[in-house]
Amino acid sequence: MSLGLLAPFSLVLAGLAALPVIAHLARQTPRDRMAFGAMLLLERVVKRLRRRRRIKDWFLLLLRVLALVLLALAAAGPRLTYPGGVPEFGGTGRVVIVIDRSMSMSLTEAGSTLLSRARDEGVRVLDQLPGGTQVGVVVFDEHAMALTSELTDDLDRARSLVRGIQPTHGVSDLKGGLHEARRLLGGEPGEVIVVSDEAGPVAVREARPELEALVELGSTVLPLTVKGEPPRNVAVTEASYGSGEEGGSLTLKLANYGPQSIEVACEVTLPDGQQIPIFADLPPEGEAAERLTIPQEALGGVGAAVCQDPDLPADDARYFHLPRVGASRVLVVDGDPGDTPTRSEVYFLERALAPWGGVKSGVAIDVTAPSGLASLDPEKHRVVFMANVADPRPFGPLLTEFVRKGGNLVITAGDNITAERYNAALGAILPAPFRKPRSLADREEQGVPLLLPTTDHPLFAAFSRSGRSAFASVRSHRILTLEAYKDRPDEVTTLLQYEGGAPALVERRIGAGRVLVWTSTVDWSWSNFPLQAAFMPSMQRLVHYLGGESGNGAARFEGIVGEPVRIPLPDLNVDPDVVGPDGSVVRSRMEGSQVVFTPERAGAYRLEIEDAAPLAWIAVNTNPVESDVRPYDTLAAVERELNPELFVRHADLSGGLLGFAFGALVLQALLALRRSS
* Shortest Å, Cβ 64 to another protein: 20
Alpha-carbon distance 116 to 101, whole Å?
10
What is the signed CA dihedral for 431, 437, 442, 444, rounded to 10 degrees?
A: 80
The residue range among 42-50, 125-133, 215-223, 498-506 that interacts with another protein, by the rule CB under 8 A, is: 42-50
The residue range among 36-44, 116-124, 357-365, 658-666 that interacts with another protein, by the rule CB under 8 A, is: 36-44
* Shortest Å, Cβ 60 to another protein: 15
48 vs 54, beta carbon nearer another protein: 48
* Residues 649/87, Cβ–Cβ less than 8 Å: no
Contacts of 558 (CB under 8 A, 6+ apart): 321, 618, 619, 620, 621
Alpha-carbon distance 550 to 329, whole Å?
6
Q: What are phi and psi of 593, to 5 degrees?
A: -100, 20
52 vs 360, beta carbon nearer another protein: 52
1 vs 35, beta carbon nearer another protein: 35
* Shortest Å, Cβ 28 to another protein: 9
Q: Which of 9, 22, 33, 91 binds another protein (CB under 8 A)?
A: 33
Q: Which of 29, 166, 466, 584 binds another protein (CB under 8 A)?
A: 29
Cis peptide preceding 230, ω within 30 of 0: yes
* Residues 226/104, Cβ–Cβ less than 8 Å: no
Pick from 361, 362, 369: nearest CA to 345: 369
54 vs 566, beta carbon nearer another protein: 54
* Shortest Å, Cβ 44 to another protein: 5
**Distances from the Cα of 260 to the Cα of 230, 233, 238, 309, 631, angstroms:** 10, 10, 21, 14, 16
Q: Which of 3, 7, 41, 585 binds another protein (CB under 8 A)?
A: 41
The residues that bridge with 594 in the sheet, in sequence order, are 568, 591
* Shortest Å, Cβ 675 to another protein: 9
Q: Which of 49, 374, 461, 590 binds another protein (CB under 8 A)?
A: 49
What is the bridge-based pairing of β-strands 108-109 and 112-113? Answer: antiparallel
The residue range among 1-9, 31-39, 108-116, 450-458 that interacts with another protein, by the rule CB under 8 A, is: 31-39
Q: Which of 18, 19, 42, 666 binds another protein (CB under 8 A)?
A: 42
Q: Which of 3, 48, 394, 461 binds another protein (CB under 8 A)?
A: 48
Q: Which of 30, 85, 273, 583 binds another protein (CB under 8 A)?
A: 30
* Shortest Å, Cβ 49 to another protein: 6
Q: Which of 43, 442, 575, 641 binds another protein (CB under 8 A)?
A: 43
32 vs 610, beta carbon nearer another protein: 32
What is the bridge-based pairing of β-strands 134-140 and 94-100? Answer: parallel
* Shortest Å, Cβ 51 to another protein: 10
59 vs 82, beta carbon nearer another protein: 59
The residue range among 28-36, 142-150, 398-406, 479-487 that interacts with another protein, by the rule CB under 8 A, is: 28-36
Alpha-carbon distance 432 to 515, whole Å?
11
The rounded radius of gyration (Å) of the Cα atoms in the chain is: 43
- CA torsion sign for 460, 464, 470, 475 is positive
Residues 544-603 that bind another protein (CB under 8 A): none
Q: What are phi and psi of 651, to 5 degrees?
A: -130, 130
33 vs 465, beta carbon nearer another protein: 33
Alpha-carbon distance 548 to 405, whole Å?
15
The residue range among 25-33, 161-169, 378-386, 559-567 that interacts with another protein, by the rule CB under 8 A, is: 25-33
28 vs 149, beta carbon nearer another protein: 28
Alpha-carbon distance 3 to 675, whole Å?
38
Q: Which of 1, 25, 26, 38 binds another protein (CB under 8 A)?
A: 38
Q: Does 40 help bind another protein (rule: CB under 8 A)?
A: yes
Q: Which helix or strand (DSSP H or E) is residue 515 part of?
A: strand 513-518
Q: Which of 7, 44, 128, 458 binds another protein (CB under 8 A)?
A: 44
149 vs 677, beta carbon nearer another protein: 677
* Residues 505/498, Cβ–Cβ less than 8 Å: no
The residue range among 43-51, 63-71, 183-191, 659-667 that interacts with another protein, by the rule CB under 8 A, is: 43-51
Q: Does 46 help bind another protein (rule: CB under 8 A)?
A: yes
Q: Does 673 help bind another protein (rule: CB under 8 A)?
A: no
Q: Which of 39, 55, 62, 374 binds another protein (CB under 8 A)?
A: 39
59 vs 279, beta carbon nearer another protein: 59
Alpha-carbon distance 235 to 309, whole Å?
8
User: Pattern of binders to another protein over 490-519, x per CB under 8 A?
Assistant: ------------------------------
Contacts of 448 (CB under 8 A, 6+ apart): 440, 441, 475, 476, 477, 498, 499, 500, 502
28 vs 166, beta carbon nearer another protein: 28
Alpha-carbon distance 622 to 637, whole Å?
28
* Shortest Å, Cβ 655 to another protein: 39
457 vs 675, beta carbon nearer another protein: 675
**Binding-site residue total for another protein (CB under 8 A)?**
21
Residue 656: count of CB within 10 angstroms of its CB: 14
35 vs 110, beta carbon nearer another protein: 35
Q: Which of 22, 35, 110, 673 binds another protein (CB under 8 A)?
A: 35
Q: Which of 3, 6, 7, 45 binds another protein (CB under 8 A)?
A: 45
The residues that bridge with 76 in the sheet, in sequence order, are none
Q: What are phi and psi of 590, to 5 degrees?
A: -100, 130
Residues 51-70 that bind another protein (CB under 8 A): 52
* Residues 219/189, Cβ–Cβ less than 8 Å: yes
Q: Does 32 help bind another protein (rule: CB under 8 A)?
A: yes
Residues 593-652 that bind another protein (CB under 8 A): none
The residue range among 39-47, 155-163, 233-241, 490-498 that interacts with another protein, by the rule CB under 8 A, is: 39-47
Alpha-carbon distance 86 to 516, whole Å?
72
Phi-psi region of 33 (alpha: psi -120 to 50; beta: other; left: phi over 0): beta
47 vs 124, beta carbon nearer another protein: 47
User: What spatial distance separates the first Cα and last Cα of the chain, rounded to whole Å?
Assistant: 46
Distance from chain centroid for Cα 307: 17
Q: Does 124 help bind another protein (rule: CB under 8 A)?
A: no
Residue 41: burial class (beta carbons within 10 Å; 0-12, 13-18, 19+): exposed
SS3 649: strand
List interacting residues with another protein (CB under 8 A).
Answer: 29-46, 48-49, 52
